[in-house]
Structure 1
Amino acid sequence: MDLAAVGTDVEKVIATEEQLAAKIAELAARVDADYKDKNVLLVGVLKGAIMAMADLTRAMQTHIEMDWMAVSSYGSGTKSSGVVRILKDLDRDITGRHVLIVEDIVDTGLTLSWLKSNLFSRGAASVEILAILRKPEAAKVEVDVKYVGFDIPKEFVVGYGLDFDEKYRNLSFIGVLAKHMYS
């Protein structure tokens, strides 16, 4: 889905399809190098990370395993509630595994901080984070994100897996949702 299809729903594009592809290729090369001699498990955080996870794994040149979790700190609104719920848990044991969490966006940091601690408590050998987007101004807790695609302002964004009320995930770019859509 392109910009023309959403009309005035999106105020501006902050990452084009081409910029996303270039950044994913760059991140994949870094992950390949960092995990060259390790059996890495990529854990995609549903639903937002589905596009990034698919593109990242296709760009990687090393064997990986993947699993999925669904966690939520959002209701149907635009702000994190800070209360994390597991909606879908991992299908495999991660004891002794090197885990790379693949996330669409780091906003307050509350969800990822909780998730990283949770995975360590399950016996992971290491837990790192790859996020396509990070909002430094929105952070409420410090979360070490090893791989960051783009730092963005504190605005509500959609596309490339990110949604508003389950819409806009299939945009080929990331854009700022117009305020009239949610105010």
Structure 2
Amino acid sequence: MDKEIIVKDKKFRQSISSDEIQKNVKRVVDEINRDYAGGDIRFVGILNGAFIFAADLLKNITVDCNIDFVKVSSYSGTSTTGEVTELIGLNKDIAGKDVIIVEDIIETGITMSNVLKMLKNLGARSVKIAILVFKPETFKGDFKIDYIGIRMPKSFIIGYGFDYDGYYRNLPAIYSLVED
């Protein structure tokens, strides 16, 4: 794959290779396997962006687990709207269970704050967060992120589950928007 691509008149440059992504996913997997050795985890993946990260994560988890998905959104195009809408709910009972939310990215924390509140209201015993990408300079949340794959500066990204108006999630690497 080229190091630069053009998407809808915008230039993106590869910022994280597929190999680097997999190395960081493995590190997160190792941390979860260590922390939950002998345990039982309920993963909750956030659609649509986290599906690739969730798949790579779960196929390497060695403790008992299952996964369900919720769909929420706070984006339109390349910017956040600030509004979170739950579109699909949980199908499994999480009361009294250890839950790990699997998310592709946390920028402001708006989406995650709402998901945390929802899962705590459903009676989860514990709720932790595993994300692939964290952008600390835009984070406004008041919660702990337990498992972080990659820290990145503020930029719009595509690839490995990240999209631009629904497209380019399938790219194996992560590309950052090149500002003019």
Contact 2:5 2:13 in 1 (8 A): no
Query: 1:174 is matched by which residue type in structure 2?
Result: I
Pairing 1:31-110 to 2, within 5 Å after superposition: 31-74=32-75, 76-110=76-110
Query: 1:42 is matched by which residue type in structure 2?
Result: F
Query: 2:13 is matched by which residue type in structure 1?
Result: K
1:179 Cα offset (Å):
4.6
User: How many Å separate the matches in 2 of 1:139 and 1:7?
Assistant: 28
User: How many Å separate the matches in 1 of 2:175 and 2:95?
Assistant: 38
**Structure 2 stretches of 5 or more lacking a match?**
none
Contact 1:43 1:100 in 2 (8 A): yes
Structure 2 counterpart of 1:3: 2
Structure 2 counterpart of 1:153: 153
User: How many Å separate the matches in 2 of 1:84 and 1:115?
Assistant: 9
Q: Look up the SS of the partner of 1:83 in the other structure.
A: strand
Contact 1:156 1:177 in 2 (8 A): yes
User: How many Å separate the matches in 2 of 1:164 and 1:102?
Assistant: 20
Q: Segments of 4+ in structure 1 off by > 6 A?
A: none
Q: Look up the SS of the partner of 1:69 in the other structure.
A: strand
User: How many Å separate the matches in 2 of 1:59 and 1:23?
Assistant: 13
Query: 1:13 is matched by which residue type in structure 2?
Result: Q
1:26 Cα offset (Å):
1.0
Structure 2 counterpart of 1:126: 126
1:14 Cα offset (Å):
1.8
Q: Look up the SS of the partner of 1:142 in the other structure.
A: coil
Query: 2:170 is matched by which residue type in structure 1?
Result: N
TM-score (norm 2): 0.92
Q: Look up the SS of the partner of 1:115 in the other structure.
A: helix
1:101 Cα offset (Å):
0.3
Q: Look up the SS of the partner of 1:73 in the other structure.
A: strand
Q: Look up the SS of the partner of 1:82 in the other structure.
A: strand
User: How many Å separate the matches in 2 of 1:142 and 1:149?
Assistant: 19
Q: Look up the SS of the partner of 2:79 in the other structure.
A: coil
Query: 1:11 is matched by which residue type in structure 2?
Result: F
Q: Look up the SS of the partner of 2:144 in the other structure.
A: coil
User: How many Å separate the matches in 1 of 2:5 and 2:25?
Assistant: 27
Matched, 1:14 2:15: yes
Structure 2 counterpart of 1:28: 29
Contact 1:24 1:59 in 2 (8 A): no
